Homo-oligomer: A and B are copies of this chain.
Amino acid sequence: MDYRSVKIAATGTYIPPMVVTDRDLEERLQLPPGWIEKKTGVCKRHYALGETQSEMAAKAILNALRSVNLTMDDVDCLVGANGAMEQAIPSNAALTKEALGVKNAIPAFDINSTCLSFVVAMDIVSHMIAAGQYNRVVIFSSDIASNALNWDHKESCVLFGDAAAAVVVERETDANGAKILASHMATYIDGVHLAEVKGGGTKLHPREYREENRTDYLFHMEGEKLFRLSMQYIPALFNVLLDTAQCKIRDIDLVIPHQASLLGMRLIQRNLRVPDERFMVTIREYGNTIASSIPLALHEAISQSRVKRGDRLMLFGTSAGLSIGGMILVY
């Protein structure tokens, strides 16, 4: 498969203003001070308060577009890449187009692979741009985890935060410029029930909600099993990505992982033998923000000047499914 000449023209984020510190949660959950940071590496996270995914997404998108003096009139297609739906019907992308007040005809649809939705959407969109179907596409990831946490499951509920991030992707006309060098995704059904929300869809309708089955409508994660299983498959992912991109891990200027958990990320970093300055960590300030985690970390890396044009980036992560996936691109 050939390289795809597409460019990340801009990024933007929206972080809801309400900050929730470890101390806040340790009091609420009657945990000893320091327990959360020690267990998860997260120091604080933000929770949406009366905001919807589409409202947050719209703000992130406008921040991205404004940074390069563009508006939605310059965009061909709007793609939602979220971990969860705002409504059962229609797509988050349609609701976000409404939140943006965009009255033109550009298409809006969603791509869903839970925490990997952004990477899968980048992959798909890059093919559509390379083929000439669209010239400039906005991909957004906006997730509200705080609404479906199981407060009886201390290990998982303290891990998550809410955030939105958006990326403007466009055709790259310079053959020596930005491009996607490699992408890969795999799904393994032995992990399908290790991270899930059983209820809310057609299998367990909201009308079946009872006090007794309330946890079926909350996020369930078996973190350790999930991590052990992921570690079986992740080395092969890196090999495929690096082989396809015809480079070594030392050629990657910045590795941007899904911010799943700090301990897990550090273990992967050690296995890859990548120093801290080439491994992006945002989980301390934001927690695991589901699908927005990777584009948020990308935005932070660009904002902090840890990424410059021409750099090679590797994005990767795991998601409910169990899926693993990643991408190597020239920024």
Contacts and interface: CB of A to CB of B under 8 A. Distances in A.
Interface of A: 1-2, 4, 52-53, 78, 83-91, 93-95, 97-98, 101-103, 105-114, 116-117, 120, 123-124, 127-128, 130-133, 143-144, 147-148, 183, 185-190, 192, 195-207, 209, 214, 217, 219, 233, 319-323, 325
B107 A197 contact: no
Given A89-B114, A107-B186, 17 more contacts: A2-B132, A86-B202, A87-B200, A87-B203, A87-B204, A88-B201, A90-B321, A91-B113, A98-B192, A107-B325, A108-B113, A109-B185, A124-B128, A127-B127, A200-B200, A200-B206, A207-B209
Contacts of A78: 187
Contacts of A195: 89-90
Nearest to A221: B89
A320 B94 contact: yes
A112 B91 contact: yes
Contacts of A120: 107, 109
A200 B88 contact: yes
B321 A201 contact: no
Contacts of A52: 202-203
Contacts of A128: 124, 127
27 contacts: A1-B132, A52-B203, A84-B202, A86-B201, A87-B198, A88-B198, A88-B199, A88-B201, A88-B217, A89-B196, A89-B197, A90-B114, A90-B195, A90-B321, A94-B322, A101-B189, A105-B187, A106-B186, A108-B321, A108-B323, A109-B120, A109-B187, A110-B112, A124-B124, A144-B202, A148-B205, A199-B206
B132 A187 contact: no
Nearest to A85: B201
Q: Which 4 A-B pairs have the closest CB atoms?
A: A206-B206, A90-B320, A88-B197, A107-B185
Contacts of A110: 110-113
A169 to B, nearest CB: 14
Contact of A87 (B127, B133, B201): B201
A1, A87, A97, A110 pick with most chain B CB within 10 angstroms: A87
B87 A189 contact: no
A134 to B, nearest CB: 10
A86 B203 contact: yes
A299 B267 CA distance: 49
A78 B321 CA distance: 12
A88 B84 contact: yes
A175 to B, nearest CB: 17
Given A109-B111, A111-B111, A127-B133, A88 B148 contact: yes
B187 A323 contact: no
B85 A88 contact: yes
Contacts of A133: 1, 123, 127, 183
A221 to B, nearest CB: 10
Contact of A95 (B102, B186, B192): B192
A188 to B, nearest CB: 6
